[in-house]
Structure 1
């Protein structure tokens, strides 16, 4: 990209969570390979974000590239209405094999937010099929499920990203979040708020939705697995379906293939996205139990009323199939374990830093929670100058590196965080 292209971008192109009049600085990436992003000035920087959790095997992976090239020679897309194709069938088989046996009906879409919308619509239609008009969902505060309207409505209503839309969104039920962190002792009091709400409103609630174990954009907190077990028991007792949002955590990020495996529980609906194609092309899946699918399908309406244009996109399905084949070699388990060990070694000592409030590590996720809000533009410039790509938000500096990162490359990331903490100008 030349300077003219960069200025055109600055004046005319929206970027995520940014302004058109006072945008955050943008860095031009012209290629990517392995863990490196190459900037237009020739500088290579280590990606600590896996392109927002998705590029788990790094960039330009030969197996993923080969799958895409092979598929595009056949067809890049075909409508999924009354048509099927081998890539979608193969992917559905793989997803059903990877997930608990209770989950056996796959609905494809093209983004994580849409996968959440689909799950919510499923449960509203599920209850409609049973002759009940349930329209409320129960979740916990500090959650994040996406930026489309239904997904926003079940994300934390006080979250600064979404609060301006509160008057336009349906009002759902929010319990206090669990305070027992993943590595701490379980506190039974964490369940009180949720239990009170579900007991009082069980006949109004269409479903419960949670990010299992890891709350993402809502604060990057890791809660205790027992909390998830208790929620599942309450949902079963009141016959309320449970949705797990594994869009960020699915496919190994927490050290388990899916985060809910830490609690050994099974949802009624599972939402997947981000890493499903190894960060090559957008795709998501909503996987339900056959009970929910058949209840909807056997109703007067007789079908589920949703159908994205790019549903079951062959190119995306081919990439996802290749991604899962890489995962099935099980190298990711060792890779994520090694990342976790090094993050603990490098980042946990920062808890004693005067600018740090807390440090949290789980699998290939490292979080440094600072005492004050971060000047994002300044600190990103610092990180790029130090050869890394890290995109903090609010008070959080966090990294979710590609699984293929080696010890030296990860050290560059963690050392950059350490240096940044010593610079007072990065904090507001």
Structure 2
């Protein structure tokens, strides 16, 4: 049995049918913006390997940090013990995170970071004398991960609610913000969507928190909305004793052209979930950060401890990788890089606006999307990758890229050409 045959018979890939596993490329190595297949074909990773590989594959500063740490301390439990990589990373995180974010809980993955954030919200409300506040409100077309509680706040139609009806918790869903990021803000709450949030919170006293992806909805449709919505949501949540959770697993660390989605706003959340690009994509890691109000509220309530503790929490290898990635971001080149990506892709993708079947073309920071009026096939896009020299994986009606920040102008042009071709042929 060849390696690929073994893969198809025994390895279950994400969102696949084992009876029809679909085409799969075997990657032998990767560096910078490129992945190399076992037959020698080189493809630009236009997905940043699901949005995490900001600084390119095998970044020398990050890989050196992992190698150096491996020789000292690959892992140790975080219960009753600590270590310098966790402490040093914590210092770096507090340098870049919104100022009120002061308490860091290290996690294994983005989905777990969301689970932790939701548990924090419920436990805070319980400690605050509001034990009935155990549910959540969120916006439609959102995505927050595939684990159990995170899945309950994913879109109820495009998510997996219909499959797990009766098992997944029932939450409150409101329409997504109606004002797009570049449109003029409308202060009328009935028009901008905030009225529905206000009405939902007024009518229900069992809501612990409002959770959403700031500025950009990722897997729910690559929708870019106006930051003023978040400013208004903060005020409404405060008026009703509801916490505000920002899931920045996709938008964090410069992807929107600002370091965090919160930087587009005038406010800060109570809880911030980070992942994906935290380690520059080199090893799985995430964190949930909260303010003193939430952390001390939990600590002063029953049972007096926060009820979560992953085995691989604060893994030293991941902490070292994350610290190195944040040091690269601190150099500031990401700002020039994302500005260049936005400017170049806006120009190069403009012709798609005239294509038949194209509903919208939008670019923000290091995100570029061609939205079509029909569902596209990821497998078909996959089959064109060797011809375009770019690995892309569309979903729904969105043909998109989140390229590594380190892409050169020529590499970006190749990605743009691939997006245009897929928009014409899929």
TM-score (norm. length: structure 1): 0.96
* 2:143 is the counterpart of 1:144: yes
**Which residue, out of 384, 389, 400, partners 2:402?**
400
Contact 1:112 1:284 in 2 (8 A): yes
| 1:148-203 Cα shifts (integer Å, max 9, x gaps) | 010010111111444311321111111111121111112331222222112222x2
Supply the distance in 1 between the matched residues of 2:246 and 2:304 (Cα, whole angstroms): 25
State the SS of the aligned residue for 1:164: coil
Show the counterpart of 1:294: 296
**Which residue, out of 186, 193, 196, partners 1:193?**
196
| 1:9-40 Cα shifts (integer Å, max 9, x gaps) | 00110001111111121111000001000000
Show the counterpart of 2:229: 227
* 2:335 is the counterpart of 1:349: no
State the SS of the aligned residue for 1:392: coil
Deviation (angstroms), 1:316: 0.1
Give structure 2 stretches of 5+ with no counterpart. Answer: none
Show the counterpart of 2:169: 170
Contact 2:373 2:397 in 1 (8 A): yes
Supply the distance in 2 between the matched residues of 1:259 and 1:115 (Cα, whole angstroms): 17
Show the counterpart of 1:214: 216
* 2:32 is the counterpart of 1:34: yes
Q: Which has the higher mean CA deviation after the structures are superposed, 265-274 or 296-305?
A: 296-305
Q: Which has the higher mean CA deviation after the structures are superposed, 158-167 or 296-305?
A: 158-167
Q: Which has the higher mean CA deviation after the structures are superposed, 3-12 or 155-164?
A: 155-164
Counterparts in 2 of 1:144 and 1:96: CA distance versus 1, 3 Å: same
Supply the distance in 1 between the matched residues of 2:406 and 2:108 (Cα, whole angstroms): 26
| 1:118-140 Cα shifts (integer Å, max 9, x gaps) | 01111111111122221111111
| 1:65-122 Cα shifts (integer Å, max 9, x gaps) | 1101110000111000000000001111111121122110000010000000001111
Contact 2:370 2:423 in 1 (8 A): no
Deviation (angstroms), 1:385: 2.3
1:16-415 to structure 2, matched below 5 A, reads 16-133=14-131, 134-187=133-186, 188=188, 189-190=191-192, 191-201=194-204, 203-415=205-417
Deviation (angstroms), 1:408: 0.6
Supply the distance in 1 between the matched residues of 2:397 and 2:135 (Cα, whole angstroms): 32
Deviation (angstroms), 1:233: 1.1
Supply the distance in 1 between the matched residues of 2:181 and 2:22 (Cα, whole angstroms): 34
Supply the distance in 1 between the matched residues of 2:238 and 2:376 (Cα, whole angstroms): 42
State the SS of the aligned residue for 1:46: strand
Contact 1:123 1:207 in 2 (8 A): yes
Contact 2:101 2:289 in 1 (8 A): yes
Deviation (angstroms), 1:295: 1.1
State the SS of the aligned residue for 2:266: coil
TM-score (norm. length: structure 2): 0.97
Contact 1:348 1:360 in 2 (8 A): no
| 1:195-243 Cα shifts (integer Å, max 9, x gaps) | 2112222x21101111000001111100001111110111122221110
State the SS of the aligned residue for 2:35: strand
Supply the distance in 1 between the matched residues of 2:351 and 2:242 (Cα, whole angstroms): 43
State the SS of the aligned residue for 2:322: helix
Supply the distance in 2 between the matched residues of 1:300 and 1:6 (Cα, whole angstroms): 52
Supply the distance in 1 between the matched residues of 2:403 and 2:203 (Cα, whole angstroms): 42
The alignment's C-alpha RMSD in Å is: 1.1
Counterparts in 2 of 1:37 and 1:94: CA distance versus 1, 3 Å: same
Counterparts in 2 of 1:123 and 1:160: CA distance versus 1, 3 Å: closer
Q: Which has the higher mean CA deviation after the structures are superposed, 334-343 or 255-264?
A: 255-264
State the SS of the aligned residue for 2:2: helix
**Which residue, out of 3, 6, 22, partners 1:5?**
3
Contact 1:157 1:166 in 2 (8 A): no
Supply the distance in 2 between the matched residues of 1:357 and 1:130 (Cα, whole angstroms): 47
State the SS of the aligned residue for 1:167: coil
Supply the distance in 1 between the matched residues of 2:421 and 2:308 (Cα, whole angstroms): 49
